[in-house]
Amino acid sequence: MRVERRPIPGIDEDRRFTPHPVRRQLLDHDHCAAAAEELIAFRSQWIRQIPRVPFFTFGAASYLDAVRSPARYLELAAQFNPLLRAHFGWLLDEVSRAISRACGVTAAWHPHAALPGFHVYLAHALFSLPVASIHFDKQYLLLDWRDIPDADFSQPLSFTLPIALPEAGGGLNMWDIGEEQLARPSRQALLAAVRGKPPDFHPYTLGELVIHSGRVLHQVAPSTRMSAGDRRMTLQGHGVIAGNRIYLYW
């Protein structure tokens, strides 16, 4: 039976990007706890991304690692992809099926990129402040698409699946500002665009996959507080449509 291709999450009937994520509940609390404990077991392999601040990644993150060094990104992908498949393959499969259903196309892993991996924030006062970057997701520009010639970069997706959250919660800030509205989205232009405009806050729920357009301005929302022992762990990734497939990566 042919699957009907659906509107891409984050795009309305007029093909306008909107700050309205699509949500799919995937995991119960027990499965989230099991995934979080498995991730903690690999703590020695977490990558600290900011000196003296407990922000880590498990996996190769294109927006961080490929920006610093494309070669290093591929090395990290080769290192972490087997671990992610072996220990979190069940979770990746759940996510790929959910995205496939949401978009009406078959999900596949990008053949020359990292699998979706994890953000890990441990308790720190800094994470109660709006310090995360305000940005569009354009990581696809850093990848090799030569084997996927029909890739459509006009409708990229981003997704987050929380498996652990601080007691005060967490979420995503989004502004009703599409990439097409800013001629030159420099850091100064992005900050000017949101000045005086409070974001739409989209709270996360444990085990609920949140899918949105990477072409709408967004930010990791701060928690109202971070208590000792709190942790924020999320599976992260992106997707690009190519024909009747969507290629997922991080």
Domain presence at residue 9: no
Query: Which of 190-194, 199-203, 244-248 is predicted with the least confidence, judged by mean pLDDT?
Result: 190-194
- H or E element, residue 154: strand 151-164
pLDDT band at 11 (very low <50, low <70, confident <90, very high): low
Which tokens sit at 9? 């999450």
pLDDT score recorded for residue 9:
60
pLDDT score recorded for residue 208:
98
pLDDT score recorded for residue 1:
33
Find all residues with CB under 8 Å of 184, minimum gap 6, and list them.
none
Q: What is the pLDDT of residues 103-162, one digit of tens each?
A: 899 999 999 999 999 999 999 988 988 888 888 899 999 999 999 989 999 889 999 999
pLDDT score recorded for residue 3:
41
Name the residue type at position 140. Answer: Y
Q: Give the range of the structural domain holding residue 29, as residue numbers without chain letter.
A: 22-249
Phi, psi of 229 (to 5 degrees): 90, -10
Q: Where are the alpha helices (DSSP H) in the chain?
A: 29-41, 67-68, 70-103, 187-194
Reduced to 3 states, what is the DSSP secondary structure of residue 19? coil
Which tokens sit at 68? 């610093």
Tell me the average pLDDT across 71-99. 97
pLDDT score recorded for residue 15:
44
Query: Which of 85-99, 168-182, 227-241 is predicted with the least confidence, judged by mean pLDDT?
Result: 168-182
Domain presence at residue 225: yes
Domain presence at residue 101: yes
Domain presence at residue 15: no
Domain presence at residue 233: yes
Tell me the average pLDDT across 222-239. 93
Q: What is the pLDDT of residues 22-76, one digit of tens each?
A: 999 999 999 999 999 999 999 999 999 999 999 999 999 999 999 999 999 999 9
Percent of the chain clearing pLDDT 90 (strictly above): 69
pLDDT score recorded for residue 192:
80
CATH number of the domain to which 70 belongs:
2.60.120
Domain presence at residue 14: no
Pairwise pLDDT comparison (39 vs 222), residue with the higher score: 39
Which tokens sit at 140? 């696809």
Mean pLDDT of the residues in the chain: 90
- The number of distinct structural domains making up the chain is 1
CA gap 41, 53 in Å, rounded: 20
pLDDT score recorded for residue 7:
53
Domain presence at residue 95: yes
> 78's torsion region: left (phi>0), alpha (psi -120 to 50) or beta?
alpha
Report yes or no on whether pTM surpasses 0.85.
yes
